[in-house]
Structure 1
């Protein structure tokens, strides 16, 4: 078995990674330098299977990922208008849990034949999930999901980036298939599963494995479509055109060829980085983001062509922001104050809309440190500095276990 660990990690993260490698038909795995403890499989963890895939490894936010665009605008074109631009983004794009678009977005995705998977589960489930997907297409969600304006200081180019996945449709798909895999009905309320949940595995050749793979693939198309819709809205706000696009999932399972054989590569919070492949890696709101390119060498091959998806958390949401009393809407016990966060973000020169202390720069590693750990496998080709960040409000409930 091939195993590669980049960077330094807490004991529970390493233990969780080893548990994944010891469960099922595992060929190998990678723990990226931004890795941290997650649900069933560590975030930043990559597990490679022979003939199996893991719905718990892909996680609840199926196809979470990033889209980044280099626009035809320069920093001097927008520098004086950043507050107004960020107000427009916060107003026009829907952030937060359970949000719907004011008007449903029509898309060819809703004619995809893989919707038939849900008809095999039941017509009612099919109709319910399809309506939810239609209602939420182009909304961003809560947690660490965002829309950023960034500047490439060497050239003055203006970039836009977004980060989110398949929204409520993906979450209910994940929950439903985890239920089916464990002998429950698709729409059952699942038990309170712990972060220590053993990997749930499906054989690809079984009916359930094939159904999940098709549903996951559909959720991936949906996430791509959603990020496209949001990007088009921001380009419209700026009056800009796209000159270059970088678009990836980082919570997904891919059929790839490794050592001459087809394998299923499950990446949770890890960016695919095949030779020449581009990826966007976002730092915190007080740090750089980068565009990277996978190197064509043995080190990258040994890492199953996988790299980091971000800086990686070093402080949990509860540690940072404290516990929320949902009746009083007040938090207690947090280690990071709103003033500390506001001061840090302002010092870095970011115009912030939304966001809570659980997403402050203090809860993440410095991005450069995790990039340095992967310098053998990736090349940094663009360094970007955020000037505007828009997220859901500080008190939005985030149900995702990833």
Structure 2
């Protein structure tokens, strides 16, 4: 069950700085309800794990910079015994064949029908240069994973021995520049201006959905959503090819997005940043750390889920910032200083859990996340766990990969 703190519904153990951000969000605009899922922590303007329900408004700062970040998970026709002996080779192939970080490992041009979508005209309204530059960037990065907490994983469902695949990333530089551009427009600047930077604790930026900018942002956000889906589809197909596997079941969802939904008979816009939609019978993937389970869940038809506006967690939730875990990075020398987690500690933990790891830094180690079972317990009246997945292979960008679009 949730607590109510200054009008905000809070699941799990309240983190004061995230609660403070959520209260700020609740005081601006036509807010119906503000909520914090059990994996919440401080973010930019709207906390991660935060949900804000608006009447007739949308928040570009609430959706955030990584528009449509999400997960795709597929169950394959393979069993654990068919991959366990060749797992090191498989992970080497994934690390080599899939593009992590800012660049592309291969010269393959990934085309997609979405590049003919009429919603690209939004960017022509803004300016021909912006349209052409963004479309070129989107073409270049389609099917790249990025860095930060973005991954390609192989799992085993221990109850059945089934092999699963999952990935986690969003709309890359296209989404990031779209978010920056609309935040500029909303604050009286030009789309392509260099923004002064968003304060962690600033009030949300709001657009009326019936305004010109509001309508344009909705179209651009939805286009970024289709782009993110296309990228995740492409990467899963690549990994299926590496494994020589076929998909038998899939789950695909965003967790940085705004949805027009109906609650209590009224149309509202639900802005979820690091929160997963979980309507009754709706499936979702929720990822743990590289040293913990991930799960497939289904929303319950319950009173508490209704009161949660059909929302749940998107992961385990951080308990340690990147800098706190890995230390401060000097990009000139490409060295780090400080940090609470050493590479040796991380390596020992991953070896003990039985994971074949490629890439990743200590800022993504198991030590920086809550246990997923803890946050799921806080939401047990809103969801059912359908499949429990244990990671056996994790691939991420390298520890010191620079990627301006990672979060």
Q: TM-score normalized by structure 1? A: 0.98
1:25 corresponds in structure 2 to 30
Q: How far apart are 1:98 and its partner, in Å?
A: 4.4
> Which 5+ residue runs of structure 2 have no aligned equivalent?
1-5
1:234 corresponds in structure 2 to 239
CA distance in 2, matches of 1:222, 1:98: 17
Q: How far apart are 1:397 and its partner, in Å?
A: 2.6
CA distance in 1, matches of 2:194, 2:103: 18
1:353 corresponds in structure 2 to 358
CA contact (8 A) 1:86 1:351 kept: yes
Q: CA 1:311/1:398 → structure 2, altered by over 3 Å: closer, same or farther?
A: farther
Aligned pairs for 1:230-309 within 5 A: 230-309=235-314
Is 1:202 the equivalent of 2:207? yes
2:3 corresponds in structure 1 to none
Q: How far apart are 1:196 and its partner, in Å?
A: 1.0
Question: Which string of whole-angstrom CA distances, capped at 9 and with x for unpartnered residues, describes residues 307-341 of structure 1?
Answer: 00000000000000001111111100111000000
Aligned pairs for 1:100-119 within 5 A: 102-119=107-124
Is 1:374 the equivalent of 2:379? yes
Q: Equivalent of 1:74, from 70, 76, 79?
A: 79
Corresponding residue SS for 2:395 = strand
Q: Which moved more, 1:123-132 or 1:51-60?
A: 123-132
CA distance in 2, matches of 1:383, 1:377: 17
Is 1:48 the equivalent of 2:41? no
Is 1:170 the equivalent of 2:168? no
Q: CA 1:187/1:99 → structure 2, altered by over 3 Å: closer, same or farther?
A: farther
Aligned pairs for 1:70-149 within 5 A: 70-99=75-104, 102-149=107-154
CA contact (8 A) 1:254 1:266 kept: yes
Corresponding residue SS for 1:293 = strand
CA contact (8 A) 1:58 1:268 kept: yes
Q: TM-score normalized by structure 2? A: 0.97
CA distance in 2, matches of 1:60, 1:264: 18
Q: How far apart are 1:398 and its partner, in Å?
A: 4.5
Q: How far apart are 1:10 and its partner, in Å?
A: 1.9
CA distance in 2, matches of 1:88, 1:197: 43
Q: How far apart are 1:344 and its partner, in Å?
A: 0.3
Q: Equivalent of 1:395, from 373, 390, 400?
A: 400
CA contact (8 A) 2:98 2:105 kept: no
